[in-house]
Amino acid sequence: MRLLIAQLECPITTDVETFLDAAKSLTSAGGFHLYNPAGGLNPLALGSLLQEELGKEIYLHFHPADRNRAALFSDLLTASALRLEKIVLSSGQHPVKSRFPQAKPVYDLDLLQLLQMAHRVRAGFDPAGESIEGGVPLQIGVSAKADFPLELLRLKQMVELGADYVFLRWPSKLLGLSQLQEIGKPIYLSLGLEELEKGEGDWRKVKDLPIAGINLCIPAGQETKGEKVLKWCSRYL
């Protein structure tokens, strides 16, 4: 059974109930992927609430664009303590492209370094090399694109470094459907609503693909359309 994941952006609001109601309307989603590009509600808090309310898989997205290694370590530790053990790592969006372009970027770690740190944390060590009492169980995934040779190289490096699964932005300019199996890790195709609306005929082939599921990026306010697309996907997965 393939997993249908709804990717939601952490809202810039204090109205948590509206966000939870919108998530609840996505009944065809088997999990939620919470992404906070800049300044939204903390995904740890939202993930904990969603897990308590809906009992579905929660994927927390962490990136180094606006957090240093100490803050990211704290996030990983807190996620594990809250039993939100599925994480997705990416480079993040540079602040100049965000709602707060005046914010200074951090990038204390790059994506490969963040992945390595997450593995050390899972093995029971903090960024300074000190042991962590109790251990930190985590399932560590990465979000990646493969439109240019450097991006494909980085994807291969992340797999070699031990990423447990990959959220792959689709379509890819360098990878065809037949090449997905070569990655050697569970693949979730990450798409916007527009990609899945382009042609039903092409997506009937999804059931034959070597993928673990679909990660559908659903903008705020488009939950009705998102649920329709998720329901459509469920017919072929």
Q: What tens digit of pLDDT does each residue of 86-114 get?
A: 999 999 988 888 888 999 999 999 999 99
What global pTM score does this model have?
A: 0.94
Residue type for position 8: L
3-state secondary structure of 148: coil
pLDDT category of residue 171 using cuts at 50, 70 and 90: confident
Half-sphere exposure in the Cβ direction for 179 (13 Å, CA): 11
Mean pLDDT, the chain, as a whole number? 92
What residue spans define the domains of the chain? 3-234
What was the pLDDT predicted at 83?
A: 96
Q: What b/e string do you get for 98-108 counting C-beta neighbours within 10 Å, with b at 16 or more? A: beeeeeeebbe
Mean pLDDT of 189-210: 71
Measured distance CA(171)–CA(16) in Å, rounded? 33
Give 3-234's CATH code, choosing from 3.20.20.220, 1.10.287.1080, 3.40.50.300, 3.30.565.10.
3.20.20.220
What was the pLDDT predicted at 203?
A: 61
Q: pLDDT tens-digit profile of 115-135?
A: 999 999 999 999 999 999 888
Measured distance CA(83)–CA(150) in Å, rounded? 35
Cα 221 to chain centroid distance, Å, stands at 20
Residue for token pair 């300019």: 173
Measured distance CA(199)–CA(175) in Å, rounded? 19
**pLDDT of 207 higher than 80:** no
**pLDDT of 68 higher than 80:** yes
Residue type for position 83: R
User: What beta strand segments (E) does 80-180 contain?
Assistant: 86-89, 139-144, 165-169
**Backbone phi, psi, residue 8, to 5°:** -120, 140
What was the pLDDT predicted at 31?
A: 98
Q: Quick one: DSSP state of residue 41?
A: -
Cα 190 to chain centroid distance, Å, stands at 9
**pLDDT of 179 higher than 80:** yes
pLDDT category of residue 72 using cuts at 50, 70 and 90: very high
Helix (H) or strand (E) holding 59: strand 57-62
Measured distance CA(181)–CA(202) in Å, rounded? 19
**pLDDT > 70: what percent of the chain?**
95
